[in-house]
Structure 1
């Protein structure tokens, strides 16, 4: 299907979903009339929405209503908003302390997604953008999360070289993850960008599961190898305080 047709179908499907949102239940005829489409078109558009549980159709009446999938999306969205709100104070405090860019990310295997960024306006700006993705194996935030994931998370992970410093051998990555768990923080030593170093630590939730990571990033001229050792405990401390605010059990 041409891209233009796919885009039009997506807009129509979203219009159907949005219209159902305001009603307790709509028949196929009512829904088709409301969105100005034929019943056969509405049936075609709603099929994948029902399959994804974004819509439900009553087996007896045939009426459409929102499905459980919308609740899951809403909960995921709220959880992300809560994480940003909880982490905001510590992220700003960390930036003020180290005078480097601070990132907050969540895990979306095989990537991390940047959901917040606090910059030191006097420094060179980092290229990262909120909403952008990074590879888990080549970023400090990714490795900080990956270190606490089950072994299956490594299976089939494409260890693509991003720079000449990227870890591309599974055994070397496993050894690195073991080291991260032991010291409590991860380092990206020019593995994702050739002139950037990053130090990150994992964030745990109330179930003691890693749900995110916080990091400090900067040019190698500012974040030297010696400074990495100073930043590690500071970033780990910020991550620990965020984790406690998320309800992580104390040990």
Structure 2
């Protein structure tokens, strides 16, 4: 039986294109397989590729040859195992250098703002503060007064809690060392209670600023994971507490998590294997 990845004989150009497309998909499957952790020692054998992709060894060898030619795949001369080649690093670096995060995320922000009806922010982390880098206004009359480029403390904001929940002990200590003064009657002002809050953030996938940073304003936020599994940006939904009620928090949080998961996948990101870094030890549940 002829290999379905081999171009068809004769003048059927449609069949040739279809077979070429099939070969391309299989070649890409090889790259993706080599990129995953299958519990193999460094590199993957021909037999493991054949079994894992359900392709004959001859087909794998045919498909992998051009990948080796352009250094997308390398083969260890001693063990014969295959692994990703250095050209992947170049392509990845070029992608990251040319990535405009605001432009890439903008459609998601507008869709989320339209569904929830409140202001949506895109933020980054510059410990001990969060920084607003994009904003989609609520269509409703009462709006947020935040400005792109402005900053807020991390310890008392939903987005700050998201970043801290996925940060190291050193970052957590830096934020606490800057002080945790009360900004409203609801502000968390002690590091141990903040640790417990961060444990809840990791558990639920989103964070809440329950009128802790600004009187009358409630906020919900969720993380965007980059290609390393780190959280360098996040999205928040903010609005008057009379509209962003506690009864709506779970609904908004769920929509946020769904949206940020889609953004992470769109950008080639994913949560770090085994969970994110956790500052300190949890001392209890959410307050």
TM-score bin (small chain)? 0.5 to 0.7
Q: Which residue, 183, 207, 223 being the options, matches 1:202?
A: 223
Over the aligned positions, Cα root-mean-square deviation in angstroms equals: 1.9
Aligned ranges 1:37-186 → 2 under 5 Å: 82-156=100-174, 157=176, 158-186=179-207
TM-score, normalised relative to structure 2: 0.58
CA, structure 1 residues 189+80, in 2 after alignment: closer, same or farther (shift >3 Å)?
farther
SS at match of 1:154: helix
- Distance in 2, matches of 1:87 and 1:203, equals 10
- Distance in 2, matches of 1:196 and 1:80, equals 36
TM-score, normalised relative to structure 1: 0.66
Match of 1:219 in 2: 240
| Greater radius of gyration (CA) | 2
Q: Which residue, 239, 248, 251 being the options, matches 2:269?
A: 248
SS at match of 1:138: coil
Q: Is the 8 A contact 2:222 2:236 kept in 1?
A: yes
Structure 2: stretches of 5+ with no match in the other structure: 1-92, 274-287
Structure 1: stretches of 5+ with no match in the other structure: 1-74
The structure that is helix-richer by fraction is 1
Q: Is the 8 A contact 1:100 1:123 kept in 2?
A: no
CA, structure 1 residues 138+175, in 2 after alignment: closer, same or farther (shift >3 Å)?
same
CA, structure 1 residues 79+112, in 2 after alignment: closer, same or farther (shift >3 Å)?
farther
Q: Is the 8 A contact 2:206 2:223 kept in 1?
A: yes
